[in-house]
Structure formats: structure tokens, C-alpha cells
A and B are shown apart, each in its own frame.
Chain A
């Protein structure tokens, strides 16, 4: 298994609070991604990173920000969580254009 961990694995938070999810890799892969998975929508790209301090928006980036200060860590922040951000969040990594390896997921509930 690719060395990807996500923390926390489960979180319940209240509307309006900030939340940060962490993705950590031990593979030294250049690319890292954050997706959300919702019924009826499949996997949708939130943000991705193509190197340290290099990030860009995905399909559903509104309400989310990311940071990558070192190769192994990619942080996803919800500045002010809303109920519509209740979802399962997956981090993924890839060497380049090859297959992506997914982390175990974080289940976030915003009440």
C-alpha cells in the first residue's frame, strides 16, 4: 500500500468553525490531491498540488483552501464549515501522470 495517511479519520464539527484536514505521504510523490465524495456525484477534485507551495483549484474549490509547505504534507482547510461540506474527503498522490493512490478517507460531519 502506498504510504498515505489522513487525519483525523472522523470529525464532527459545528457550522461556522474552521476545520483542517491533513494528508501525509511517505512516497515523496510530487502531486497531491484533495477530493470529496458525495452520493450522486462520485469523486470531485477540490484542490491539487504539483509541488511545494504550488497549488491550484479543482472543480469544487469554493469554501476550501490548501497549503503545502513540505513535500509530505497537504492540508485542506475549511475556513468556516457549512453543512454542505459534510462529506467524505479523500487525499490522493501520484508520481506524475500515472495512477493516483488514495488515502483511507476522512468522514466530516458539519452540524
Chain B
């Protein structure tokens, strides 16, 4: 079982702030790193899947980077909005057997 860690556990920011959080995972036998966004009372929704060292992905104001050699990924949100409030999950593992971190709960105050 992989050990996927996320930090911080929770985060409060003001509307307009930019923020970032970290996902760390074992670098040996790396296959893929996934990021999901999970709003309260909804289902997790895929943001990014990254496989290559140095990969950078972007979707609107959200972007992610990947360092497979040292075993970490960063998720960045530029100009946070209240609708960005959610839990952000990362997951790593084999091609279809993922281990999820416990998530970072982001609250954006208007």
C-alpha cells in the first residue's frame, strides 16, 4: 500500500489570493499522479492525470506540476474564488489501483 500524503490538511484564503498545496508519494515504481476536486455533497471530479517527470498541466486558473524523482506534486490556484472551495485529492499508484491522500480542504472567503 502506497503512502500518499497531502499538506496542508486545510487552508483558508481570501478571494483573489493565490494558493498552492502539496502531494507527496513514493518515487519508486511511479506510474501516474492524479488530482481530483471534491465539492461537498458531490462526487470527486478529475482535474489532472500526470505521468512524466516535469509534467505541467493547466485548466483555467488551476495548474499542477510533477516531480517523480523526489516524489511530489504541487497544485496551484491563481486568484482563488469562493467556488474553488472544495477538498482537493491527489492519488498515486499502478495504472488502475490508486491510493488516495486524505485531501486538502480549501475554503475561499469572499
A-B Cβ contacts below 8 A, count: 51
What is the bound-complex CA distance between A40 and B87, given in angstroms? Answer: 13
Q: Is B97's CB under 8 angstroms from A99's CB?
A: no
Count of residues in A whose CB is under 8 Å from the partner chain: 26
Q: Is A94 an interface residue (CB 8 A)?
A: yes
What is the bound-complex CA distance between A33 and B43, given in angstroms? Answer: 14
Q: Is A103's CB under 8 angstroms from B43's CB?
A: yes
Taking CB atoms, residues of chain B closer than 8 Å to A98 are 49
Q: Is A42's CB under 8 angstroms from B103's CB?
A: yes
What is the bound-complex CA distance between A101 and B37, given in angstroms? Answer: 12
Sample (5) of A-B pairs whose CB atoms are under 8 Å apart: A50-B96, A59-B1, A99-B49, A100-B98, A102-B44
Residues of chain B at the chain A interface (Cβ within 8 Å) = 1, 31-32, 34, 36, 43-46, 49, 89, 91, 95-103
